[in-house]
Amino acid sequence: MLLQYKNLTIRNATVEDADLLSLWWNDGKIMAHAGFPKGTGETSYQIAERLKRDTDEDRRLIIELDKRPIGEMNYGKDGENTVEIGIKICDFSEHDKGYGKILLSMLISSLFKDMGYKKIILDTNMNNKRAQHVYEELGFKKVRVRENSWKNQLGELQTSVDYEMYQEDFVNFAK
């Protein structure tokens, strides 16, 4: 996948990105929302091996701003016509600039139009209000709240919110 809009690029992650992903994934501040406040502990080698197994149905992506990596996205097929997505802007200096909404628009548009998916799903931590706001602006509908449904690596119970979107609900901010 290679998607571009103005100075933003979404591209397939490659084994050459493993060191950077390892740096991000082992940063507890970046990974806390995903349940890893101490980082994932994954090595560059482990990540490179995982990237080698990526397919067009299950792929890790790198987000670039002016050709500089600032985060990651991913998608994975979840049933016949459904795909699950995720996004993480890892460079905190690039938060609150509207990039997430545009990047998600780019990915969602491609998943519907180019790849033919009918439904897109995602989940987020209940505490991540900023993400929930963006998802809802894009047209995602809240399906359910799963109270105390999982524990982070510190053993703290977490609540998550499940969202879904169909093409007719999508509001594209990358036109």
Is residue 13 situated within a structural domain? yes
- Nearest CA among 130, 118, 126, 121 for reference residue 168: 118
Is residue 173 situated within a structural domain? no
CB-CB contact of 141 with 163 (8 Å) = yes
Is residue 141 situated within a structural domain? no
Within 10 angstroms of residue 71's Cβ, the number of other Cβ atoms is 22
Structural domain including 34 reads 2-120
Is residue 82 situated within a structural domain? yes
Is residue 89 situated within a structural domain? yes
Is residue 93 situated within a structural domain? yes
> Can you give the pLDDT of all 175 residues of the chain as single tens digits?
999 999 999 999 999 999 999 999 999 999 988 889 999 999 999 999 999 999 999 999 999 999 999 999 999 999 889 999 999 999 999 999 999 999 999 999 999 999 999 999 999 999 889 999 999 999 999 999 999 988 889 989 999 999 999 999 999 888 7
Query: Rg of the chain's alpha carbons, rounded to an integer?
Result: 16
Is residue 31 situated within a structural domain? yes
Ramachandran quadrant class, 79 (left: phi over 0; alpha: psi -120 to 50; beta: rest): left
**Reduced to 3 DSSP states, what percent helix, strand and coil does the chain have, rounded to the nearest 5?**
35, 35, 30
Has this prediction a pTM greater than 0.95? no
Q: Domain count of the chain?
A: 1
Within 10 angstroms of residue 89's Cβ, the number of other Cβ atoms is 20
Is residue 166 situated within a structural domain? no
Contacts of 28 (CB under 8 A, 6+ apart): 36, 37, 38, 39
Question: What tokens appear for 84 in the block?
Answer: 């699950």
CATH number, domain at 41? 3.40.630.30
